[in-house]
Amino acid sequence: MAHPDHHRHAAFTLVELSIVLVIVALIIGGIVVGRELITVSKLRADISLIQQFDQNVQTFKTKYGCLPGDCVQPERFFTGLAWNEEGNGDGVIGFNTGTPGTVFRNGSFSNNETSFAMDQMARAGLSPALPFSTTGANASVLPALKSTPSFKFMIQAKCNSVGAACYTIGGHYYYLGITSGGPTILNSSPTAYTPAEGFAIDSKIDDGKAITGKVESGFVGGNYFMPMPSVWNPTSYSCPAWHASQGLNGSCDYDKTRTDKALNILISSSGI
């Protein structure tokens, strides 16, 4: 009489193994999709943040009769200003001394209408950030991005050349990707977005092209804040000379094959 082999174990059938593999694949796929959805949600939150701030800038202009940072004698509206925030009233959020219609690009942040603008928006209750400290540098004057709170954004007039003062060409943009912004320092390195994330923002509200339209890739150069490269001086800079370091491909478009944080984003204001 044959005795049962109590030491034998039934093996998985091919069908059972297939089911297990399908379940594992679904779990992994769900994790990946979940992460992508979270990223998309955060990028949309960045867009909403900028759109709301842009509306608030227009509210400021309606209430005070000037753009934030550009107001002459802003102490009429705000008390306890940490700095002499005298704008020149030229209708541009740029450099408040020297030639009207210029933008201060680098160096000190304490004599710049851009910094004044962010401070005054906070004092008017129209910014999620805090006003400047009276005791020194305070990066909280720049609102934090939703996707990566360690990065901030600011508003600045568009201009067409690189340098400490460049001539405006009309309109303003929001620069997304500032890492510090106290009254005495401004910095944009490292970068805030992968090329794919930049493309996602661009595609959501614009044409999906890195160097055209309302949304553009931003050039990073220490304390310089430049679009990449449509408003550059074309006689001085060209896309092929800089594209690789800015997360773009040879056609000067978003290189979505890259996964590194290679660029910052500039979004044009809709109303100013």
152/144 Cα distance (integer angstroms): 4
Which phi-psi region, left, alpha or beta, contains residue 123 (left: φ > 0; alpha: ψ -120 to 50)? Answer: alpha
Query: Structural domain boundaries of the chain?
Result: 18-63+137-268
pTM (two decimals) = 0.78
248/234 Cα distance (integer angstroms): 18
Which residue, chain included where needed, has tokens 């055209």?
212
Side chain identity at residue 190, one-letter code: P
DSSP class per residue in 79-93: SS-SS------SS-S
Per-residue pLDDT tens, the chain, 272 aa: give them: 555 555 555 667 877 777 877 787 777 766 655 666 677 889 999 999 999 999 999 999 999 999 999 999 999 999 888 777 888 888 888 754 445 555 544 444 556 788 889 889 999 999 998 887 655 555 567 888 999 888 888 888 876 655 555 667 778 989 888 776 544 445 555 678 989 999 999 999 999 988 788 898 875 444 444 554 444 444 444 555 556 667 777 777 888 888 888 888 889 999 88
Strand partners, 175: 154, 266
Q: Residues, the chain, total? A: 272
